[in-house]
Amino acid sequence: MPEEKKIPELGLAEFVSTLIRETFDAILTAQEEQSAKIVQIHELADSSPENIAADVITPEEVELGMQRFFPLPDKPYCAVYDGAAYHPEPNESPAIYQLTGYEMQKGDFGNNRITAQGLAAIKKQVMFVLAADKLQQIRQMIRNGIPQIHIDNGKILAKVTFSVRETETEGTLPPATVGALPSTFLQRIDLLSGKTLKRIQLPAARMMVKQATESGTTSANNTSIYGEVEIHFRSIL
């Protein structure tokens, strides 16, 4: 990945333009992701528990589900594991069928111990139970209505240091500017005072911004002021 180049200073026009553009792009991206997520939720609601189990339920969730169904106060925090004690009758212990709906088969246990085959089968059943619960939650969420966030107004605040710098030659662009916006210079201003038209020549100047510092500086051709850029916006549909 190429190293990012840090720009020490930006023209105010370029800075505000970039700020607005990036905010606009962020809002559009968020809206697009929100719409895609809603479509995904509806697709999941139409799936079967088997598909949910395969595509949504993770091995970590299955392990947590095992601990929830067959809790132990200490490690391994689950009463069902390879080699764990198992008594099928007269009262099954652990109560695998009662808790998960899985009926232990031949080969799932031996010598009153759960085998690796039995552990895998129980975990698979727990995964299906979790998938059915998740599918029910998804469908209930759709029935209740999926909330959507619409941005209709907002405010952008950016703390920066403003710098008004006199340029050496009027109309000359300063170095390290970004964007295609034209530079803004203070040019000749016609001032009508009474009946006399006066022409005032102001020095060519450029408003710049850079990373915020809480102190300003003043020199012969550069004055810096700490402040904020505040932009209010609203959406028009």
Domains of the chain by residue range: 10-28+152-234, 47-144
Instruction: Please state whether the peptide bond connecting residue 2 to the residue before it is cis, i.e. omega within 30 degrees of 0.
Output: no
Region class of 43: left (phi > 0), else alpha (psi between -120 and 50), else beta:
alpha
- Average confidence (pLDDT) over 182-186: 39
Contact 27, 223 (CB under 8 A): no
pLDDT at 149: 80
pLDDT per position as a tens digit, 81-103: 999 999 998 899 999 999 999 99
Name the phi and psi angles at 117, rounded to 5.
-65, -45
Give the CA-trace dihedral at 91, 94, 100, 105, to 10 degrees. -80
pTM of the model: 0.58
Residue 80 φ/ψ region, left for φ over 0, alpha for ψ in the -120 to 50 degree band, beta for the rest = beta
